[in-house]
Amino acid sequence: MGPSSWLVVATFVATIAALLKYQSSPARVFGVVLVFLLLSGQVDQKQLLASIANPGLITLVLLMLCSVALEKTRLLRMIASRVIRPGYTSTWFRLFGSISLSSALLNNTAVVATMLNPVRNNPYHPAGRLLLPLSYAAILGGTLTLVGTSTNLVVDSLLRDTTGEGLNFFDFTIIGAALVVCCGGLLFVLSRWLPKTDLRGDNFHDYFVDAEVDADSRLIGRSIEEAGLRHLESLFLVEVVRAGQLISPVAPSERIQAGDRLIFSGDVSKVMQLNQFHGLTLFADANGLLGTNLSEVVIRPDSVLVGQTLKKAGFRALFDAAVVAIRRDGERVSGKLGEVVLKAGDFLVLAVGQDYSSRHNLDKNFIQLSGVEPDSRLSGWREWFAVAGFVLTIGLSAFGVIELLVGLAVLLGIQVLTGTVSANDIRRRFPMEIWLIVSTALMMSFALIDSGLVQSLSTKIDGALSEEHLFALLALVFFMTVLLTELVTNNAAAALVFPIAYSVASGLGVNPMPFVMAVAFGASASFVSPYGYQTNLMVFNAGQYRFSDFIRIGLPISLLYALVVLTLLPVVYPFG
């Protein structure tokens, strides 16, 4: 090998070493690699542009942006409200089934994020018995379709760049369905050994939000469970104030009455989802400011608000702002928001008017923290369009009527024109890290090919191995991807192993699809470590699991997963 080939090899090895050392910052590692590839002349401008504009990569980005509209509908919340039941077996299978099917079409992270709080705060079962199955169900469901997980689309983009042809929508479904059934059955058996961690209870770091039931509300007469108020995303109903009496804790069977004040605790950025309930008015709604951006402040010790309630202080007149939520570290805030006696150090989230920033009394009364972006919710025809448009686009693409990239581009354009998705939504949710990782991996593939390493590897494999070694090589590719997935990240693992897998198939002169799919399924096999897959990390923190919990439950799942994949791959995708 010449100097250029050794430089490419060194870059490849250094990339893996850096990903192992800096596991929490894969985007930074790939950013440095991108700059080095360009400065060292391993790739040129044309290859740079081809990488960042790869059709498969653009399809992945469009899919993630289009799914933002779905997250703003009631779809996932409705699923959440129907999952939790008094019986553990019924709840487990409802949860596993609904999450697996949802993850086949929707972003895994969004699905798990929506279900996290309902599962964590459910009144019937220890959250520790359900949160890990929630993450594993999302991972397994993602193997069902091309759009089920980002790694499938990453492999698709790499294959398109190499051969000019990509994967079909249902190429994953036969093996994916077998994985869902087999691994799901084993997971149910193993779930009895999950820790019975009960995570319900007060969290003094959460904000408290006050909402009033109007006299004409459709919620009146319905129970808390029936109204869906126990299954909100990152908001938990902690008490009801009724005719001066405090009801806490709130039973699922408690019937809602006109004039009830519902006190929620949780993530204040999720407050806009309460607007979906007819006749439920937030404290800031009455002041006509809730639709504006929110600001977070802390009350100063010498503020005129200390010792006063919001109503007595005339808060709106003083600051041209209304309080959306309040938080008091180390102590629970209780009762109606407007009647809470304020203390120095209280955190407030404010919906501010146009005159707020010009008030001269802000710095005297508040320590200004930061803006809080409220998650807006869709309603009416926009909500129907968000669901129907996404399903129609995926359906037409699945049956070959339109290209997925074209369909998603058109859908996103219509979503922006109709206000279903805003430009701010796109800026906030643009998957820059994934774009950087995949485009850099594509450039590394160019460097490997241009240096002659891929061709050299293919030639050596062709001369040294025969078809008798095919299955062993397939298993090697699969387990190499699994190992990197657990050690670094799933997308990085797929991007790094793909060139090796494809060159192995080329060197043997066999169908590359078994090796390509081995990379795709291997990159989704993250069950042993909480750090290899984002949903695992989410439930690891939320469920207060230990690393040993993942090993005890995840290792048997991972072994069965490998057995199913390696058994079916040569059958579904023959080598010849």
DSSP secondary structure letters along 395-463: HHHHTTSS-HHHHHHHHHHHHHHTTSS-HHHHHHH--HHHHHHHHHHHHHHHHHHHTTHHHHHHHHHHH
Sorted by where each begins, the domain ranges of the chain are: 207-266, 294-372
**Neighbouring C-alpha atoms within 13 Å toward the C-beta of 124:** 16
Per-residue pLDDT of the chain (576 residues; tens, 9 = 90+): 567 778 877 887 888 788 777 765 677 888 898 899 888 888 888 888 888 887 777 887 888 888 788 777 777 667 767 788 888 999 999 999 999 998 998 777 777 876 776 787 777 888 889 999 999 999 999 999 988 888 888 888 888 878 878 888 899 999 999 999 999 999 999 998 998 876 554 444 467 788 889 998 989 999 988 888 876 766 778 888 888 788 877 888 899 999 898 888 776 667 767 777 888 887 666 555 555 556 778 887 778 888 888 888 888 888 888 787 787 755 666 666 777 888 877 888 887 777 777 787 887 788 766 554 455 667 778 888 988 898 899 888 888 888 888 999 999 999 999 988 888 778 777 878 778 877 887 787 778 777 766 566 656 655 555 556 788 889 989 998 998 887 766 777 887 788 888 888 887 788 999 999 999 999 999 898 776 677 887 788 667 788 888 899 999 999 999 999 999 999 999 987
Instruction: Give the pLDDT score at 272.
Output: 67
Q: Which residues neighbour 216 within 8 Å (Cβ) at sequence distance 6 or greater?
A: 279
Instruction: Give the pLDDT score at 144.
Output: 94
Give helix 490-508 / helix 26-39 axis angle, nearest 10°: 50
Whether CATH 3.30.70.1450 fits 294-372:
yes
**The tokens 């806009």 sit on which residue?**
272
**For residues 335 and 305, is the Cβ–Cβ distance under 8 A?**
no
Instruction: Give the pLDDT score at 64.
Output: 80
Give helix 490-508 / helix 150-163 axis angle, nearest 10°: 40
The SS3 of residue 245 is strand
Instruction: Give the pLDDT score at 293.
Output: 59
* Length of the chain in terms of residues written: 576
Instruction: Give the pLDDT score at 455.
Output: 63
Q: How far apart are CA 505 and CA 353, in angstroms?
A: 63
Instruction: Give the pLDDT score at 533.
Output: 73
Q: How far apart are CA 467 and CA 470, in angstroms?
A: 5
Instruction: Give the pLDDT score at 567.
Output: 95
Q: How far apart are CA 355 and CA 218, in angstroms?
A: 35
Q: Provide the Cα torsion 129, 132, 138, 143; round to 10°.
A: -110
The SS3 of residue 10 is helix
Q: How far apart are CA 153 and CA 174, in angstroms?
A: 17
What angle is formed at CA 359 by the lines to CA 356 and CA 364, rounded to 5 degrees? 115
Instruction: Give the pLDDT score at 10.
Output: 86
Phi and psi torsions of 246, nearest 5°: -105, 125
The SS3 of residue 376 is coil
**For residues 190 and 163, is the Cβ–Cβ distance under 8 A?**
no
- Tell which CATH classification among 3.40.50.410, 3.30.70.1450, 3.30.499.10, 3.40.50.2000 matches the domain 207-266: 3.30.70.1450
What angle is formed at CA 169 by the lines to CA 168 and CA 171, rounded to 5 degrees? 65
Instruction: Give the pLDDT score at 350.
Output: 82
Instruction: Give the pLDDT score at 201.
Output: 46
**The tokens 């999720």 sit on which residue?**
270
Q: Do the strands 366-372 and 294-299 form a parallel or antiparallel pair, or are they unpaired?
A: antiparallel
Instruction: Give the pLDDT score at 24.
Output: 59
**The tokens 């149910």 sit on which residue?**
188
Instruction: Give the pLDDT score at 284.
Output: 61
Strand partners, 335: none
Q: Provide the Cα torsion 531, 536, 539, 543; round to 10°.
A: -70
The SS3 of residue 238 is strand
Burial of 3 (0-12, 13-18, 19+ CB in 10 A): exposed
Q: Which two tokens stand for residue 206?
A: 């959460």
pTM: 0.66
Is 294-372 in the same CATH topology as 207-266? yes
Q: How far apart are CA 558 and CA 473, in angstroms?
A: 19
Question: Measured between alpha carbons, how far is residue 445 from residues 249, 448, 459, 467, 501 in Å?
Answer: 58, 5, 18, 26, 12
Instruction: Give the pLDDT score at 234.
Output: 66
Helix H, strand E, coil C: the string for 21-75 is: HCCCCHHHHHHHHHHHHHHCCCCCHHHHHHHHCCHHHHHHHHHHHHHHHHHCCCH
Instruction: Give the pLDDT score at 507.
Output: 75
Instruction: Give the pLDDT score at 453.
Output: 63
